[in-house]
Structure 1
Amino acid sequence: MVITHHGGQCFKVTLGDLTIVFDPIAKGATLPAVRFGADLALVSRDHPDMNGVEEVTYGDKTPFAITGPGEYERQSVVIQGYLSKSKYGLKKGAEDAVNTVYSVELEDMTLVHLGALADTELSKEARESIDEIDVLFVPVGGDGVLTPAKAHELAVSLEPKIIIPMHWSGIGEPKALEAFLKASGTGSEKVDKLTLKKKDLIGRDGSILILTP
């Protein structure tokens, strides 16, 4: 499995011929749009910074798009979406927007992408169902999503083997990543891409990896 970061909350996960994308960036977004083909596109929040399904319809790939809570299974990948809340992109005083937290099981590993989550209080269903997280993608940028301190608090409580901060590159408050790392009080590792097998998780316990876009 290879994981790469494409800015904001967008991550591409490739496993052989299979490509999964979390929160693809659309045209007209705050960030530059992505352009590659995907088999599965998971959208956490209906906002151009995260809903660019058309941008990952490319070449011979037309993605199966998942845009909300529910249980899905495609190409031996099991996906569970949990309802949560986001304030990203909203005016002050507006009602919370729908955010979907995704748990993805593939190659005997569990990836959890929190999307544009605004609150550390996950639903009871999510808390009870999400267990033994291998890789956690957590928003740290504030400005409608978790603040760096709240992001660290939630990440620690979920006890993942690897923590990948997001929503700090191109969107989010200035120096959000630095504030998150300061809150963690531990070291971090910066990589261009993450190549991961199950055996690579041995000995990992909340390791923070920064994937550079």
Structure 2
Amino acid sequence: MKIKWFGHSCFMITSDNGTRIIIDPYKNMLGYKLPKDIEVEIVVTSHDHGDHNYIEAVEGNFVHINKTGSFLEHGIEIKGVEAFHDKVSGAKKGKNIVYNFAIDGIKLCHCGDLGHTLNADLVKEIGLVDILLVPVGGGFTIDAVDAVEVMNQLNPTVVIPMHYRTKALGPMGLAFAKVDKFIAASGLQAKEYKELELNSTNIIDYSGITLLKYD
């Protein structure tokens, strides 16, 4: 599979058979900009905020998944698990969906705007995770310390941070911490790639923290 980061919490996942998934597309209001003419087969959104659910950025015919449950689309298994955008069961910021995808024999989990660490029931419901896409910037989501706890709870092989301060954000970036805090708290080494391409055989070669560049 190929994994491309479009900034914030938005990723394009392309399976070996060419199925394309975009997760949490955003309005061009953050400093990031999505490519034009995005075409995919599946759009997945974790919650109804404009920086995560702007499906109007996507063209063509696609399946939109924005709820909890189990789904099978284009040979890809998708499980949506209910979580929250804050530490008070959604009372402040509402609900959030954590998605776990089974793609090419790999389990990839996208945490959306997760606002809390996990309890044992939620860890069990999410299930096995090989690749974890986790917010680390705090402010609107879990911070670096909580993100490390979530990482340890799910025990992935590869961790890809998201939702943190970058130069592209401009003044908006001050609301987020830099990714350095997460890397330091994790105690793991980080490697940077423009795009990640891996499979169930070589995934171990990418173990640790992977930073994806925003173009």
TM-score bracket, normalised by the shorter chain, equals: 0.7 to 0.9
2:123 matched to which residue of 1?
A: 127
Alpha carbons 2:47, 2:112 under 8 Å: kept:
yes
1:14 aligns with 2:11: no
Q: CA deviation at 1:131?
A: 3.1
Q: Hey, what's the Cα distance between the residues in 2 that align with 1:150 and 1:198?
A: 28
Q: Hey, what's the Cα distance between the residues in 2 that align with 1:82 and 1:138?
A: 15
Q: 1:180 aligns with which of 160, 179, 182?
A: 182
Per-residue CA deviation, residues 22-57 of structure 1 (Å, 9 max, x unaligned), is 101125x32444231111111012111110111112
Equivalence map 1:17-166=2 (5 Å): 17-27=18-28, 29-34=29-34, 35=36, 36-57=38-59, 61-87=60-86, 95-122=92-119, 124=121, 126-166=122-162
Partner secondary structure for residue 98 of structure 2? strand
**Which amino acid is the alignment partner of residue 117 of structure 2?**
T
Unaligned 5+ runs, structure 1 = 88-92
Q: Hey, what's the Cα distance between the residues in 1 that align with 2:41 and 2:174?
A: 28
Q: CA deviation at 1:122?
A: 4.8
Partner secondary structure for residue 25 of structure 2? coil
Question: Structure 1's 186 and 55: CA in aligned 2 closer, same or farther, altered over 3 A?
Answer: same
Query: Could you tell me the percent identity over the aligned residues?
Result: 27
CA RMSD, aligned part only? 2.2
Q: Number of matched residues?
A: 203
Q: Hey, what's the Cα distance between the residues in 2 that align with 1:131 and 1:84?
A: 14
Unaligned 5+ runs, structure 2 = none
Question: Structure 1's 174 and 47: CA in aligned 2 closer, same or farther, altered over 3 A?
Answer: closer
TM-score w.r.t. the length of structure 2 is 0.86
- Structure with greater proportional helix content: 2
Alpha carbons 1:148, 1:176 under 8 Å: kept:
no
Partner secondary structure for residue 120 of structure 1? coil
